[in-house]
Amino acid sequence: MSTTSNPAASPDQRSAAPALSCKVSASPHDPLPSPAGKKPAPPCTLVIFGAGGDLTQRLLMPALYNLAVDGLLDDSMKIIGVNHGERETREWTDELHASLQQFAADKASTFHAGKLDDNAWSWVAQRLEYMAGEFELDDTFAKLKQKLDQSKGGNAIFYLAVGPRFFKPITERLGKAGLLKEGDGANGGFRRLVIEKPFGADLASARDLNAHILSYAQESQVYRIDHFLGKDTVQSILAVRFANAFFEPLWRREYIDCVQITAAETIGVEGRGKFYEQTGAFRDMVPNHLFQLLGVVAMEPPNSFDAEAVRNKKADLFNAIQPLAPHDVVFGQYEKGPAGVGYREEPNVAPGSKTETYAAARVFIENWRWAGVPFYLRTGKRLAARHTEISVQLKAVPFLLFRDTQADALTPNVLTISIDPAHGTSFDFNVKTPGPVMEVGPVRSSFDYGDFFAERANVGYETLLYDCMLGDATLFQRSDSIETCWCAVDDVLHPKRGGALPLHGYAAGSDGPAEADALLARDGHAWRPLQRKAPGGKS
């Protein structure tokens, strides 16, 4: 995660009141400038295991294409796609092109100009090579070694865009074939391994996977991805906290009543029934995505944005998470409702499935800053609305000055950081309503990224890929933090007494099970409604 202020701005511009107040957007024909201060990544060969998979088509290729448009890839870059099944490079390239065109048409905002730039695509296409190979056969790795030996510089990134069962066999074979051995020349000759989530299914399996990987690669070579950290809006939380004077003094137990972290989805399991049956909402989202959000919201300020400085502070925070108690966790499963069929009727789901599609948790952080402040986390499929957001609710004012007016029940101040699909922040506070009587009413002040900045093409993997090529591990998970996060949830995954957690039904299209409301009601709190109106009446 490279950090720059705006070096081009004059001191006057830098200190001026916000000058960017109109909506700005790039014209479809203007070449987008390279992001300020960014240089192309060093030359490397990117080897993608799982060349035919969904992740490659939907996220990696679009991100590489966007990086190419921004001029952030080296001219000598090569992309080798490995998959089982013989096919020509031409066929693979055509398939990727067709899916990119489709995405560009469907999701204009994630691509430059909403349509593919033929030059940029042909730049990428010329660098693609398909290699047929089984992930568990030594022969595949011997073939790959030959190809890499011919490539310039020897830098290589091995991206495991495959199911978790292949993480170990691929790493082992890469290691045994000598493909993870780094060069010692001036130009590096780096070898990096990118591992997708899920990284283990509990503490024991994550430890085992870490140990296996680290017997073939150094920690510094391993880039464990959590794609939530690739989102600009998540990275911006650090900017909001540490580039402004007015949040940080309040960012502590003395002023904050509670924090809510929500990743609510309207989609169901989308044909992933088989995967979901083994994983469930809790493993899929809580110790990884939601804990990462917790990390950026609650970590102490690092001394710099150096990868280790940031990761050390996050590790301290994860270490301070009080192990989740089963009675502070609620599991739910969607049933038939306004948004469609129940989970048990989805394809590849057992008719009597006990898998949770919703999870809520009350989490405490045992440190000086946060002791006693509840962090409420929730995630679920087939909910009433799609919101990934963090709401920080401040404590009530100490003295109700307006006791004799209708202002007795003041609406709490809430800072909401919207991550998806809205990108921005809003702040709820109270003002005097117009008129002769002293009445107080809530209002909302909002900021939306789109009102201030030209939309940059982004599928969420650009920064992660670029950073990996640069060797910047700030946004990637270190082995110790992965294990600490699994450790914090181990009692929920393996309750010592009483077996599995109870499962509560909720209607597809609702806000989740009533038991999740009760979890907060115990503390006198309530979830932010998923479908809501702004105080001013706008939704």
Residues forming contacts to ligand BG6 in the complex (CB under 6 A) are 197, 265, 284, 388, 420
Q: Both tokens of residue 403? A: 């006791």
**C-beta closer to ligand BG6: residue 258 or 293:** 293
Q: Which of 97, 289, 423, 504 is catalytic?
A: 289
- Tell me: is residue 381 an annotated ligand-binding position: yes
Q: How far is the CB of 332 from ligand BG6 (least distance, A)?
A: 15
Q: Which distant-in-sequence residues (6+ apart) come within 8 Å of 233 by Cβ?
A: 417, 418, 419, 420, 423, 424, 449
- Rounded to the nearest 5°, which phi and psi values hold at 448? -120, 130
Question: What's 412's DSSP letter?
Answer: P
Q: How far is the CB of 30 from ligand BG6 (least distance, A)?
A: 29
Q: How far is the CB of 241 from ligand BG6 (least distance, A)?
A: 21
How far, in Å, CA of 180 to CA of 175, rounded? Answer: 5
**C-beta closer to ligand BG6: residue 265 or 428:** 265
Q: Both tokens of residue 363? A: 């989490």
**C-beta closer to ligand BG6: residue 239 or 267:** 267
| Residue among 321, 238, 254 nearest 492 (CA) | 321
Query: CB count, 10 Å around CB of 118?
Result: 9
Q: How far is CA 276 from the centre of its chain?
A: 19
- Written in H, E and C, the secondary structure of 311-350 is HHHHHHHHHCECCCCHHHEEEEEEECECCECCHHHCCCCC
Amino acid at 447: F
What sign has the CA pseudo-torsion 183, 188, 189, 192? Answer: positive
- Tell me: is residue 168 an annotated ligand-binding position: no
Q: Both tokens of residue 261? A: 């972290």
Residue with tokens 């999870």: 359
Q: Does residue 189 contact residue 77 with C-beta atoms inside 8 Å?
A: no
3-state secondary structure of 509: coil
Q: Does residue 69 contact residue 120 with C-beta atoms inside 8 Å?
A: yes
**C-beta closer to ligand BG6: residue 306 or 420:** 420
- Tell me: is residue 212 an annotated ligand-binding position: no
Q: Both tokens of residue 372? A: 């006693």
Q: Both tokens of residue 20? A: 């960017």
- Tell me: is residue 135 an annotated ligand-binding position: yes
Nearest-CB residue for ligand BG6:
284
Q: How far is the CB of 269 from ligand BG6 (least distance, A)?
A: 8
3-state secondary structure of 372: coil
| Residue among 488, 460, 487, 486 nearest 475 (CA) | 460
- Tell me: is residue 115 an annotated ligand-binding position: no
- Tell me: is residue 78 an annotated ligand-binding position: no
Q: How far is the CB of 312 from ligand BG6 (least distance, A)?
A: 25
- Rounded to the nearest 5°, which phi and psi values hold at 367? -150, 175
3-state secondary structure of 429: strand
Q: How far is the CB of 100 from ligand BG6 (least distance, A)?
A: 19
Query: Quick check: is 289 catalytic?
Result: yes
Q: How far is the CB of 276 from ligand BG6 (least distance, A)?
A: 7
Residue with tokens 């479809």: 28
Length of the chain: 539
CA dihedral angle for residue 307, residue 365, residue 380, residue 425, rounded to 10 degrees: -70
The annotated binding site is made up of 134-135, 197, 227, 231, 265, 284, 381
The annotated binding site for substrate is made up of 227, 231, 265, 284, 381
What are the residue numbers of the active site?
289
The annotated binding site for NADP(+) is made up of 134-135, 197
